[in-house]
């Protein structure tokens, strides 16, 4: 049997979108395992509070204010990590928004759609370019891109978000193909996690119903969510209210691998989410 080691320990892990949701939970878990997370997001006050919390718990962490829509910010993010720790072992391209909406709603949605592409597509591209030379010089590294189950098939009301998440996935696969044996590349595709900040970025809640295979049943789920304990029970097959920590733990699982093993793709679903994709 292969001896199981802690492969997160001492790794320098740069995480975008790290002020909330999957990003902050991933940073906290990396620190708990002895890694060195570098948190990046636009909100200085939130980043400061998270880093203080990690350090108070005995972990190591640092932060840099970063808007991934800005190329110079992203390149400075990687420079900061290298200046602070001497290397970058993992980049987690996590920052994103989810402005689901119909084309008929373009007047109120277009600005948010542009932001979505800037954050997801430009942010991921800038991240890859910023870390590429460093990882190649090191001789190894890992890039993790957070995509979505929405990238699986085109749906009405979700086209702009789907293009963003498909783009994230294709950037990952292109990098993997180019850098085999140098940079490990992983795509994470989460189901809907209601307990993050993403639902707040939706333009029209009805636009999200196209992903659901059974509207009647999903309506019952939302109506009875508070009373149905099985919907919140991770040990139930009807579980449909997943804790964001589950996704963070799967991101960390991909980091927690020996250098010779690369987890290419992971889709994380709730057993009872009723999504068609």
Beta strands in the chain (DSSP E): 12-16, 36-41, 62-65, 90-93, 141-146, 183-190, 265-268
Dist CA 185 CA 19 (whole Å): 23
Residue 146, phi then psi, degrees to nearest 5: -90, 110
> Tokens 């850098």 belong to which residue?
179
- Nearest CA to 142 out of 33, 39, 13 is that of 13
**What are the CA-CA distances from residue 260 to residues 5, 54, 120, 172, 180 (Å)?**
13, 29, 28, 18, 11
Active site includes 161?
Answer: yes
DSSP tag of 36? E
| Structure tokens belonging to residue 56 | 């108070």
Catalytic residue among 85, 161, 231, 239: 161
Contacts of 110 (CB under 8 A, 6+ apart): none
Q: Is 268 exposed, middle or buried (0-12, 13-18, 19+ CB in 10 A)?
A: middle
Q: Are 12 and 88 in contact (CB under 8 A)?
A: yes
Radius of gyration of the chain (CA): 19
Query: What would the DSSP string read from start to end of 46-96?
Result: HHHHHHHHHHHTT---EEEE--TTSHHHHHHHHHHHHHHHS---EEEE---
Q: Catalogue the active-site residues.
A: 161
């Amino acid at each position: 049997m292969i001896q199981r080691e802690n492969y997160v320990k001492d790794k320098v892990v740069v995480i975008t979108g790290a002020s909330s949701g999957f990003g902050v939970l991933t940073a906290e878990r990396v620190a708990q395992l002895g890694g060195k997370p570098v948190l990046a997001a636009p909100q200085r006050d939130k980043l400061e509070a998270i880093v203080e919390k990690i350090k108070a718990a005995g972990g190591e962490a640092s932060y840099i204010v970063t808007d991934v829509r800005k190329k110079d910010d992203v390149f400075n993010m990687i420079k900061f990590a290298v200046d602070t720790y001497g290397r970058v072992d993992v980049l987690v391209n996590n920052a994103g928004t989810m402005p689901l909406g119909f084309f008929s709603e373009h007047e109120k949605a277009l600005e948010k759609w542009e932001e979505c592409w800037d954050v997801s597509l430009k942010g991921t591209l800038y991240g890859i370019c910023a870390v590429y030379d460093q990882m190649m010089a090191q001789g190894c590294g890992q890039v993790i891109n957070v995509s979505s189950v929405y990238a699986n098939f085109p749906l009405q009301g979700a086209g702009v978000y789907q293009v963003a998440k498909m783009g994230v996935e294709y950037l990952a696969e292109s990098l993997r193909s180019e850098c085999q044996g140098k940079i490990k590349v992983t795509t994470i595709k989460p189901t809907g996690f209601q307990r993050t900040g993403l639902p707040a970025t939706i333009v029209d809640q009805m636009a999200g119903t196209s992903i659901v295979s059974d509207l009647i049943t999903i309506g019952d789920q939302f109506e009875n969510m508070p009373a149905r304990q099985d919907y919140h029970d991770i040990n139930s097959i009807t579980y449909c209210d997943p804790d964001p920590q589950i996704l963070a733990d799967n991101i960390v699982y991909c980091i927690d691998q020996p250098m010779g093993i690369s987890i290419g793709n992971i889709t994380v679903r709730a057993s009872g989410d009723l999504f068609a994709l």
